[in-house]
Amino acid sequence: MSANDLPHWRIAGLRYYALNYFLRGKFGQRVQKVSLNAGFTCPNVDGTVAVGGCVFCDNRSFSPSRRVPRGAIRAQLDEGIRRLKWRYEVDHFLAYFQPATNTYAPVDRLRQVYEEALEHPQVVGLAIGTRPDCVPNDVLDLLEEIGERTYLSVELGLQTIHDRSLDWMNRGHHHDAFLDAVERARGRSFELCAHVMLGLPGESQEDMLATAREVARLGLGAVKIHNLYAVRNTPLADWVASGEVRIMERDEYVTVLVDFLELLSPDCIVERISGEAPPEYLVAPSWCLDKPALKRVIDAEMLRRDTWQGRKFQPHPLPDSNPASLGLS
Residues near ligand SF4, by CB under 6 A: 42, 44-45, 53-54, 57, 59, 100-101, 131, 157
Nearest distance, CB of residue 304 and ligand SF4, angstroms:
34
Q: Which is nearer to ligand SF4, 10 or 173 (CB)?
A: 173
Q: Which is nearer to ligand SF4, 53 or 80 (CB)?
A: 53
Give the residue nearest to ligand SF4 (CB): 53
DSSP characters over 116-131: HHHTSTTEEEEEEEE-
Q: Quick one: CA dihedral 164, 170, 171, 176, positive or negative?
A: positive
Q: How far is CA 328 from CA 106, 165, 166, in A?
A: 33, 12, 12
Nearest distance, CB of residue 80 and ligand SF4, angstroms:
20
Nearest distance, CB of residue 191 and ligand SF4, angstroms:
19
Amino acid at 203: E
Task: Give the Cα separation of 200 and 217 in Å (integer).
Answer: 21
Q: Which is nearer to ligand SF4, 102 or 274 (CB)?
A: 102
Task: Note whether 41 and 62 are within 8 A (CB).
Answer: yes
DSSP characters over 247-304: PPPHHHHHHHHHHHHHHS-TTSEEEES-----TTTEEE-GGGG-HHHHHHHHHHHHHH
Amino acid at 53: G
Q: Which is nearer to ligand SF4, 159 or 309 (CB)?
A: 159
Task: Give the Cα separation of 204 and 200 in Å (integer).
Answer: 9
Q: Which is nearer to ligand SF4, 272 or 305 (CB)?
A: 272
Other Cβ atoms closer than 10 A to 261: 26
Q: Which is nearer to ligand SF4, 53 or 147 (CB)?
A: 53
Q: Which is nearer to ligand SF4, 161 or 209 (CB)?
A: 161
Nearest distance, CB of residue 58 and ligand SF4, angstroms:
8
Nearest distance, CB of residue 210 and ligand SF4, angstroms:
22
Nearest to 47 by CA among 56, 38, 36, 59: 59
Angle at 7 (CA atoms; ends 123, 31), nearest 5 degrees = 15
Nearest distance, CB of residue 41 and ligand SF4, angstroms:
8
Nearest distance, CB of residue 257 and ligand SF4, angstroms:
21
